[in-house]
Amino acid sequence: MANVLLSSLLFIGIASQALAAPNNVSVSTSSFGGIYAPGDLIFQDEFDSFNFGLWIHEVNMNGGYNNEHQIYDKLGSNAYIKNGYMTIRPSWTVDTLYRGNYEELYNGYIKLEGCTDPPGNACERQGRYPNILPPVISSRLRTLGTFSFTYGRVEVRARLPSGDWMWPAIWMLPEHSAYGQWPKSGEIDIMESRGNQQLYNPAGVNIGSEQTASTLHFGPAEGYNGFWQAHGEKNTAPGQGYDRAFHIYEVEWTPSYIRFRVDGAQIKSVDPPAGGFFELGQFPGNVPNPWANAPNPRMAPFDQPFHLILNVAAAGDYFPRDSNPSPPWGANAFLDFMNARANFGGTWNSEEAAMEVDYIRIYAV
C-alpha cells in the first residue's frame, strides 16, 4: 500500500498543482477547489490511519429508512484501522452496550449522544418488550461537510463482510439535495451486497456474498424511483464470493453518462437520453420534472456535488422475503432477529465478519 495520507498537506499539494491550469481542463470539481486535468488525483485515502477530520460518524437509529436493525454510533470497536484497512464490523447491542444484560435491551432506554438526526425516535428510544431496542450496533462513515465532488472516476478496493444478514455498502449521496428530498436529488450506489454466503433467489441464483450490485436511485417525487433502469449486478464463481478476497469497485461519472465496473468489467452503463433521467425513468407527464431547469438537464440530479459513505447495516428491506432461506424476522422484527441469533450468530464471530476498505481514489474526468 502506498504510504499516502489524506491530510492538509495533500489538500495543499493537489490544489497547488491544479493552480497550474492544465491545457486539457477536466470537468471535475471538488470541495478542495482547484483546476484539474483529466486523470489527476482529486482524492485519496489509503487508510494508514483514521482521518477523523474527514470521515464523520453518523449517529442515529432510524434504520437507514429501510427498516434496518442497527444503531449507528461512533464506537471504536465498530469502525477502526487495522492492517492498513478501514474496518467496519457490526456487533450485538446486548453485548457491546449492555454486557449481556438482556433486560436493558428488551425494556431499557437509550439516548444517542451527538445524534446526527433531528430529535425523535432516531435519537432516543424506550424499549418495551416485545418492541425491543435495535439489536445491532454498527458504523456509518461519511464525508458530508468535509469532502464532496462533481464528476470523476471513483476506485475502491475492498473485501466485503461474511456474516448472515449483513448489508455492506459503499455509496454516495448529494451534498446539498439541490432538487429536494430523496429520491429527487439522487443516490449513487457504487457497491451493495449481502453477507450471507448461502442466500438464493427463487431461480437458485446466489444473491448473498457472491453477488454485488451497483445502482442509481432517482425520481421526481416520493413513490417514484427509476432505479430499475440503472441497476447492474455481477456474481463471482460459485464458492468464491466478494467476502473471500479484495475486489475493485468503480464508478465513472461524467456529464453525459455513468458507468459501473467491478474488477475492470463493466456491469452497467447509464446513458440518459436527451430528456435526461426524467425520460429514462419513464415517469408520468402529470408529475412535475424537478430537473427541467438544471445546469445539466441530461444528467440531473447527477450534476451536483456528492459525498462518500461507507457502512455495514443489518437486516432491512434489501433482503427479499422470497429468498432461501427467508429473512428471520416478521412483525416484531428486532425481537425475531434476536431469537434467531442462535441459528446464524456464529457467522458474525469470524474475523471475516467485517468490511475492509484498502483505499479510495478519485480521479478527474
Cis peptide bond upstream of 130, omega within 30: yes
User: In the chain, what percentage of residues exceed pLDDT 70?
Assistant: 94
CA dihedral 299→301→304→307, nearest 10 degrees, is: -120
Task: Name the percent of the chain lying above pLDDT 90.
Answer: 92
Output b/e per residue, 293-328; b: 16+ Cβ within 10 A: ebebbbbbbbbbbbbbbbbbbbbbebbeeebeeebb
pLDDT tens by residue, 288-298: 999 999 999 99
Which residue, among 194, 145, 146, has the nearest Cα to 169 in the 3D structure? 194
Question: Locate cell 416484531: which residue?
Answer: 332
pTM to 2 decimal places? 0.94
- Domain ranges across the chain: 8-363
Q: Which tens digits make up the pLDDT trace of 63-120?
A: 999 999 999 999 999 999 999 999 999 999 999 999 999 999 999 999 999 999 988 8
**pLDDT of 287 higher than 70:** yes
Q: Would you place residue 9 in the very low, low, confident or very high pLDDT band (cuts 50, 70, 90)?
A: very low
**CATH number among 3.40.50.2300, 2.60.120.200, 3.30.1330.10, 3.10.310.40, domain 8-363:** 2.60.120.200
**Residue-level pLDDT at 351:** 87
Contact predicate 309/140, CB 8 Å: yes
pLDDT at 319 over 80: yes
- β-pairing verdict for 211-217 and 187-193: antiparallel
Question: Residue 298: its pLDDT value, please?
Answer: 97
Residues 6+ apart with CB under 8 A from 226: 216, 217, 218, 219, 277, 280, 281, 282, 283
d(CA 123, CA 125): 7
CA distance 357 to 359: 6
What is the rounded radius of gyration, in angstroms, for the C-alpha atoms of the chain?
21
Average pLDDT, the chain: 94
**Does residue 23 carry a pLDDT above 90?**
no
Q: Which residue has the higher pLDDT, 57 or 17?
A: 57
Residues 269-278, mean pLDDT to the nearest whole number: 98
Identify which has the larger pLDDT, 8 or 300.
300
The pLDDT of residue 119: 81
Amino acid at 204: G
Instruction: Specify the pLDDT at position 2.
Output: 37
